[in-house]
A and B are shown apart, each in its own frame.
Chain A
Amino acid sequence: MNDTVRSSLLAVCCALGVFAFGARAHAAFVVQITRGQDVAIPIAIVPFAANAGAPAFDVAAVVSHDLGGSGRFKSMHRKDMIDLPHTGSQIVFDDWRRLDADYIVVGSLSRPAPGRVDVSFELYNVLTQQRLLGYQIHTDDAGLRLAAHQISDQVFQSILGIHGAFATRIAYVLVLGKIPHQTFQLVVADADGENPRVVMQSGEPLMSPAWSPDGKQLAYVSFEDKLPSIYVQTLKSGARQLVSATAGVNQAPAWSPHGRRLAVTLSNRSGNLDVFVLDLGTHALTRITHNPGIDTEAQWAPDGDSLYFTSDRDGGPQIFQVSLAPGSRPRRITFQGSYNARPRLSPDGSHLAFVTRVRGDFRIATLDLKGNGGMQVLTHGAFDESPSYAPNGAEIIYATHQRGRGVLALVSTDGRVQQTLVSPEGDVEEPVWGPYGSE
């Protein structure tokens, strides 16, 4: 086993300083677990030792927050810890067994050279006393938070067998102020809501952020000229490119799997919305749907050969799939309920998440595309919208309302774990989870 995880964090953190708007957006989100796993796994994340010259950053607190916040683990409170070991040889396993910890994480920080930090950590099974993980992460002071998320990912993977998604990013729209004097911000943050950075701000609406497959760019809709336009913004440089500003609607950008094309929604003079594909290299525009109904919010199948989209050609909104081969006819794929919209594919393409209306309430549902074709309603709110899969496919982030405010929420794809991320201010809308390696 390779005992070293080389953190490529330096480049990422340097990039953060040069966003179009580098300002810190707001204080941290508050995580509320609204529904946890029936049997959350008890784990002790012991505070890491800071060796001579090492920074005082609390790695264990971040890991504990990640794992506890996932709803799948129960992190032991520090006041319940009777000992603070920093290496495996210091662990008295009988003590931790009596405290009902199934697993224990210990570690330390050291400074091998000015400006550099090494983070060592080990994961043990308390019952078997077996060492499951032992790594050292080489990073710098600015990279410690991401290093902590990488530890969470490793622990998550080791115990649950699911690739963690803690060291990833999300983008969302934050609306501040009162009607009609509102400010719209496009924010990129760590997956736990920390480190929020405003990458675009406007007095007119911003909507539909979409990550490029390499996580380096965001496409979005801006009404900054009063009319909608689609922009592509490079996160590292802050450079923006106007890619669609046709007369009428310019909406719902979605990247092709290789990032060379965008599916977009455009309208003609009579206001009929159809789905088009825009080649970002040649600027060639190909019309995909031809229907007098609303055809919009397309998503690419992982093979890039077909699109899923919402259409009300049969009456209310339903989800269809259309091959990009010329002359292909769209095929309807949702039949349960009178309102199914905003399709989002799971990373492996096996499931579709979307908004469905259940007796007047808007909720997040999934459809099994490969298996039995069954539909499962995952959430229980009235205003649930804008689902987006985590890159590990295990969770869906979405927007909902709590006491009249727009907040973010997460649900595991089995529906068993739910949590809410409440921003200290404003309305949070349209969360989109970035791919692994997003900037």
Chain B
Amino acid sequence: MKRLTAITLLLTGALALAGCHGKTAVKGQSASATEVPASATTGGAGGAGTTMTPLNGANGGSLQAVAQAGNAVPREQRTIYFDFDKSEINPQYEPIIAAHAKTLIANPGLRIRLEGNTDDRGSREYNIGLGERRAQAVRRALMLQGVADSQIETVSYGAERPAVEGDNPQAWAMNRRVDMVYLP
């Protein structure tokens, strides 16, 4: 139970970043962005990370609980948004990536699927390539933080799995994303 709370704390640290795909919101987030690693450190790096490791092999159920908790957080805490035709991760998402990296490092048996997506304009097959490139950008960012390659799976849905409907810039911005999904 304690572990779960720690994970939730890690992820709620990123909660403040909700809606950060909107350009206007960036200013307000820089403050919360500095807070997140701090709370993450108190919650994750100390006891939780080391005590959890041996339990994973013995008790698959707890890993499942961690995965469920990770998938239950609001979408904004498990989604990275991208600019049009771009796959670079904007700096405001670093805290979210750091929070997930800590969760994954603390649970070496835990696996995550990075689902790359695009808006629905243009060529569908080219968009698959773009979505894959975005998923790979997040994969590299997680690995730079120390997550093992074997914990990460990538898939590109291109334009086939939009988060929201609509032929407008707001909808397109919401759909250009990588969703982070913990695997059961």
Contacts and interface: CB of A to CB of B under 8 A. Distances in A.
Interface of A: 178-180, 205, 207-208, 223, 226-228, 248-249, 251-252, 265, 267, 269-271, 273, 294, 296-297, 310, 312, 316-317, 339, 341-342, 355, 357, 362, 382-383, 385-386, 401, 404, 429-430
B132 A385 contact: no
Given A179-B163, A228-B155, 19 more contacts: A207-B125, A207-B158, A223-B157, A227-B155, A228-B128, A248-B154, A249-B156, A265-B129, A297-B125, A297-B126, A310-B126, A341-B125, A355-B122, A357-B122, A362-B121, A383-B121, A383-B167, A385-B123, A386-B123
A208 B85 contact: no
A273 B132 contact: yes
Interface of B: 85, 113, 120-126, 128-130, 132-133, 135-136, 139, 149, 154-158, 160-167
A342 B123 contact: yes
Contact of A310 (B123, B136, B167): B123
A355 B157 CA distance: 20
Nearest to B181: A226
B85 A316 contact: yes
A205 B19 CA distance: 27
B128 A179 contact: no
B122 A385 contact: yes
Contacts of A294: 126, 129-130, 133
Contacts of B132: 248-249, 267, 271, 273
12 contacts: A179-B162, A180-B161, A205-B157, A223-B157, A227-B155, A249-B132, A310-B123, A341-B126, A342-B123, A362-B121, A401-B167, A429-B124
A300 B154 CA distance: 29
Contact of B133 (A271, A316, A362, A382): A271
Contacts of B123: 297, 310, 317, 341-342, 355, 385-386
A179 B125 contact: no
Contacts of A342: 123-126
B33 to A, nearest CB: 27
Contacts, number: 99
A273 B164 CA distance: 27
A227 B113 CA distance: 10
Contacts of B113: 226
Contact of B164 (A179, A249, A317): A179
Contact of A226 (B125, B155, B160): B155
A244 B159 CA distance: 21
A235 to B, nearest CB: 22
Contacts of B124: 207-208, 342, 385-386, 429-430
A200 B162 CA distance: 21
Given A205-B157, A223-B157, A296 B126 contact: yes
B135 A271 contact: yes
A385 B158 CA distance: 14
A95 to B, nearest CB: 50
Shortest Cβ-Cβ A-B pairs, 5 listed: A294-B129, A341-B123, A205-B160, A271-B136, A297-B125
B125 A208 contact: yes
A249 B128 CA distance: 8
A74 to B, nearest CB: 33
Contacts of A362: 121-122
Nearest to B168: A404
Specify which of A271, A294, A312, A404 lies most central, judged by the most chain B CB atoms within 10 Å of its CB: A271
Nearest to A404: B167
A207 B161 CA distance: 12
Contacts of A180: 161
Contacts of B158: 207
A218 to B, nearest CB: 16
Contacts of A316: 85
Contacts of A310: 123, 125-126
Nearest to A269: B149
Contacts of A178: 165
Interface centre among B135, B160, B163, B167 (most CB of A within 10 A): B160
B157 A251 contact: no
Contacts of A205: 157, 160-161
* Max chain A C-beta neighbours (<10 A), residue from B124, B136, B139, B157: B124
Contact of A273 (B85, B129, B157, B163): B129
B122 to A, nearest CB: 5
Nearest to B166: A404
A377 B158 CA distance: 25
